[in-house]
Amino acid sequence: MPTLAGKDIGFDQCDFVASGETIHEVLEKMVDHIEDNHLDEWAVREKELDVEHEKSFLIKQIKDDDRSPI
C-alpha cells in the first residue's frame, strides 16, 4: 500500500502518514493534511516549485509497503 509521511517531505515534527490504495488517494490525503496543518510552511516551499514540480516532488516521496521509494 502506498504511503507518504509528513516527515518524508520535510515536516520534521509531523507524525501524519497518508496511505491509500492508489498514489492519487495518498496525494489527496497529504494535500488535505498540508492545507489543514502546514499551509504556512508549504507556502514557503511552494514559492520554489511550480505546480508540476510540486506534484512530482510529492509522488517521488511516496513509499510502498517495504518503505522504499516507489
Other CB atoms within 10 A of residue 30 CB: 25
Phi, psi (5° rounding) for residue 17? -130, 120
pLDDT for 66: 60
Other CB atoms within 10 A of residue 34 CB: 22
Calculate mean pLDDT across residues 13-40.
Answer: 93
Burial environment of residue 57 by CB neighbours within 10 A (0 to 12, 13 to 18, 19 or more): middle
pLDDT for 32: 94
pLDDT surpassing 80 at residue 15: yes
Residues whose CB falls within 8 Å of the CB of residue 16, separated by 6 or more in sequence, listed in order: 5, 6, 30, 33, 37
